[in-house]
A and B are shown apart, each in its own frame.
Chain A
Amino acid sequence: MGQDLHTRTLTQLASGLAQGEFSSVEITSALLGRIENLNEALNVFITVTGEQALETAKRADAARASGNAGALNGLPIVHKDIFCTRDVLTTCGSHILDNFVSPYDATVVKRLADAGAVVLGKTNMDEFAMGSSNETSYFGPVRNPWDLERSPGGSSGGSAAAVAARLTPAATGTDTGGSIRQPAALTGIFGIKPTYGRVSRYGMIAFASSLDQAGVLTRCAADAAMLLGAMAGFDERDSTSIDHPVPDYVAGLSESLEGLRVGVVRQHFDSGLDEKCAQVVKDALSVLESRGATLVEVDMPNLELSVPTYYVVAPAECSSNLSRFDGVRFGRRVDDPADLFDMYSRSRGDGFGAEVKRRIMTGTYVLSAGYYDAYYLKAQQVRHLIADDFHKAFREVDVIAGPTSPTPAFKLGDKIDDPITMYLNDIYTIGANLAGLPGVSSPCGFVDGLPVGLHLVGPHFGEELLLRCAHQYEQQTDWHEACPEAFK
């Protein structure tokens, strides 16, 4: 008993708990034991909350015994360390917050806790979610379970690697330019970035407020459907939260794809895409066709500008958001500041890593007098053109499908010295953030032993459709069941 609990999906664990096959304490103990043995090789966790997890699991088992089980009662989960968690260290992967114990819970944390989920720990990430490889973390890079010399992607790399290595069946993440979908693709798991405003951003440490959105990383679409149902919905504490009904995502999974129009963006296959990845993605599109979908070519002429647009808009918002780290109310302060200016600039200079400083300075530059119109205003106009490309496409098709990432997982150290090469990693995912659209990445095959993701983007509030597409795709393929040999 207990030996195979880590191999089960969230859905399988939920049914085992409901049938009394095992307890939440047994699941929690099994996974904590695995984390203790395997975390060092992967560097997935910044904090493991073992004691609290066992306490929560005991309460969950008692609640189930007395007939008060919530939707996620006793199910294990981990949180990206960007979500404020009351009385738990919340670092955002940064030195400047490495002593920050949050006085409150993010809405995502609270909703999952209220549903009965058991939190095993907080996962490593690129500093302030700024990165696509997990190498900008103050706590060191996360390693990809498929090849420990490679990056798991980022910024939700710890969450992705934790799920891929079967240390947890599910994890929260955030996605500002691809930070859920790209690591999901690079580690062979499922990830969903919902519509902007679908999930509350309250208590989620802000990077770029008009782009950030919380989502989940799981082994399959059904697990994500279950979790998203518990997380999504209006929150008065987030002024950009949208009051829109939350459908039963699980109930929608079983509908067929008959008649579904799948858009294939010509520009996605033009250049920059690894040839073997392109073939794997084309094979995945054929599977969708075999489930009743029709492929339609769509043209998105402004899409190639999405990366430069993003690298104006996101740094601009980041430079404003990160001004709150001033060494006064929370976070690190340098010793013996000469004056207020010295305190601000040295606390920030010491506390932030190189990539975060570059982004703050890029943002400061594009917002500064004389450059605002040429960069920031221009980028916001191009953002409109990109969003219009999507809206036009969605008049012809129901979803847009393509690759999640231009290559499979790359080696740690390969791209970190060239910001532009790193930025271009997110070329297929950034558009959805700029337009506020939901997107998923679903495991769809391997290139040279490394996983590849199929990217699906839907119209606003199209999560149900995306989850159904991915679930139907999983019915005909078993890529989502593949597990790295060392973590079986």
Chain B
Amino acid sequence: MSLDKDQVQQIAVLARLSLEDDEIAETVDKLSRIVDFVAQLSEASTDDVLPMAHPLAVTQRLRPDKVTESNDRDHVQQNAPSVANGLYLVPKVIE
């Protein structure tokens, strides 16, 4: 196993994913297999090769800094689990 239980739990914390106890063993096994599989990349010779961030050789387009959208907050917030006075509600973060 290239990853152990502690590492997987740490990754889950970073990713904000709760894992049930019965999911952990399977996740350790499958993530390890994936990490072992992609490790074959280390054998490729990539000296002086630029990383490729975009599939086409183009530069990022810019647009004028103008307001183009209208305010449809009420419509958008119909999907929110909890709102009040146009604000999104979450558990208390400041004591």
Contacts and interface: CB of A to CB of B under 8 A. Distances in A.
A binds B: yes
Interface of A: 99-101, 103, 195-197, 210-211, 236, 239-240, 242, 302, 305, 308-309, 311-312, 319, 323, 326-333, 337-346, 348-350, 352, 354, 357-358, 360-362, 364-366, 368, 374-375, 377-385, 387, 419-420, 423, 433-437, 460
Nearest to B61: A239
14 contacts: A196-B55, A239-B60, A305-B40, A305-B41, A308-B38, A311-B38, A333-B82, A348-B16, A362-B35, A375-B41, A378-B42, A380-B51, A385-B49, A387-B55
A267 B53 CA distance: 26
Interface of B: 3, 8, 11-20, 23, 26-27, 30-31, 33-35, 37-42, 44, 46, 49-56, 58, 60-61, 63, 72, 75-76, 78-82, 88, 90-93
Q: Is the interface of A mostly helix, strand, loop or mixed?
A: helix
Nearest to A368: B14
Given A332-B81, A340-B90, A378-B46, A364 B11 contact: yes
A331 B80 CA distance: 7
Nearest to A327: B81
Nearest to A304: B40
B38 A375 contact: yes
A41 B38 CA distance: 38
B52 A387 contact: yes
Contacts of B44: 302, 305, 378, 381-382, 385
Given A239-B61, A361-B12, A436-B55, A419 B33 contact: yes
A53 B31 CA distance: 44
B34 A328 contact: no
Contacts, number: 169
Contact of B53 (A312, A345, A380): A380
Given A344-B16, A362-B35, A328 B56 contact: no
A157 B32 CA distance: 28
Q: Is the interface of B mostly helix, strand, loop or mixed?
A: loop
A311 B55 contact: no
Contacts of A196: 55-56
B52 A328 contact: no
